[in-house]
């Protein structure tokens, strides 16, 4: 009994330590923060150099000034969000997205493989749109309020914090929407295979099972969602207006025939020009011979 209780305590030790850990933080957070700060700093430096050139200022000093400001702002924002706000909200599972993130990070730390068929670990479309909106809103409010407090005093801190909260939430929601649009266009979600949806091989089909002789009516198929139809129409419109289009075999054949006809006409013109040049050369030679014979007679 003592050995069993000791083993039980030893097995439950890591899970209790993981549950009592104050910050639920992903291992890729430092790399993400470094990449985001680097990109925003470079963007700010490029913008500062461009503004300096247009305003007839030294582009190097303007680039250094703008890059430094963007570095301070981005490092403060992402550092506060990734190391304080998000771990706090994830630990207490403020929303459903934070609860799912908490489960994923806990499973990763315990060395468990993710269950791809578990619907509880998959975000819905609305959860994907609103993912980390609360985190960015709170961080934007704190950063905006603190900056306004330092620059303009405490009277404008509340207004600055509210503006920063709204701006952070809108930017995060827009980024999530663009990410979803990109995923729907270039990487559409595939249906999950379950035991009920796995197709049976012909050897596993029952004897009494017969295939339907009539084709399936397309109108009986389930209608696609409004978002999928919108993305399909958008891609179709872009393809219609795109200057790069895929030609059919008939169009390629007509194009090659037109090029061959133009080439044949050009070859005929070249032959006529060669004949004309040959006749001119012959005429010049006759003129030279006649002038030589005349000089000889004289």
pLDDT in tens, 163-202: 999 999 999 999 999 988 888 777 666 655 555 554 544 4
The region of weakest confidence among 24-28, 39-43, 47-51, 134-138 is: 24-28
Mean pLDDT of 281-286: 90
Share of the chain above pLDDT 90, in %: 31
pLDDT in tens, 192-221: 555 555 454 445 445 444 444 444 444 444
Joined tokens for residue 150: 């330092």
The residue among 89, 190, 193, 197 whose CA lies nearest residue 137 is: 89
Contact in structure between 25 and 105 (CB atoms under 8 Å)? yes
Q: What is the pLDDT of residue 261?
A: 93
CA of 125: how far to CAs of 129, 130, 140, 187, 189, in Å? Answer: 6, 9, 24, 15, 11
Share of the chain above pLDDT 70, in %: 69
Q: How many CB atoms lie within 10 A of CB 175?
A: 14
Rounded to two decimals, what is the model's pTM?
Answer: 0.55
Q: What is the pLDDT of residue 14?
A: 39
Joined tokens for residue 6: 């000791």
Contact in structure between 144 and 167 (CB atoms under 8 Å)? yes
CB neighbour burial string for 177-207, b if at least 16 within 10 angstroms, e if fewer: eeebeeebeeeeeeeeeeeeeeeeeeeeeee
63-69: long-range pairs with CB below 8 Å, 24+: 67/41, 67/42, 69/44
């Amino acid at each position: 009994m003592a050995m069993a209780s000791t083993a039980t305590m030893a097995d439950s030790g890591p899970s209790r330590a993981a549950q009592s850990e104050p910050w639920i933080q992903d291992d890729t957070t430092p790399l993400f923060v470094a990449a985001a700060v680097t990109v925003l700093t470079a963007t700010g430096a490029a913008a500062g150099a461009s503004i300096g050139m247009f305003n007839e200022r030294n582009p190097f000093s303007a680039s250094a000034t703008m890059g430094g400001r963007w570095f301070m702002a981005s490092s403060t924002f992402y550092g506060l969000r990734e190391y304080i706000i998000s771990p706090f909200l994830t630990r207490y599972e403020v929303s459903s997205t934070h609860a799912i993130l908490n489960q994923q990070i806990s499973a990763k730390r315990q060395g468990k493989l993710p269950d791809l068929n578990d619907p509880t670990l998959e975000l819905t479309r609305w959860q994907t749109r609103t993912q980390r909106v609360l985190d960015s809103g709170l961080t934007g409010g704190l950063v905006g309020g603190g900056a306004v407090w330092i620059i303009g005093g405490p009277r404008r801190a509340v207004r600055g914090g509210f503006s920063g909260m709204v701006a952070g939430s809108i930017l995060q929601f827009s980024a999530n929407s663009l990410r979803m649009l990109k995923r729907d266009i270039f990487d559409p979600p595939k249906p999950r295979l379950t035991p009920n949806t796995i197709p049976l091989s012909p050897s596993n089909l029952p004897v009494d099972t017969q295939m339907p002789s009539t084709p399936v009516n397309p109108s009986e198929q389930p209608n696609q969602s409004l978002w999928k139809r919108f993305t399909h129409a958008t891609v179709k419109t872009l393809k219609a207006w795109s200057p790069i289009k895929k030609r059919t075999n008939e169009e390629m054949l007509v194009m090659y025939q037109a090029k061959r006809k133009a080439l044949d006409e050009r070859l005929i013109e070249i032959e006529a020009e060669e004949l004309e040049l040959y006749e001119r050369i012959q005429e010049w030679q006759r003129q030279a011979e006649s002038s030589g014979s005349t000089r000889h007679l004289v």
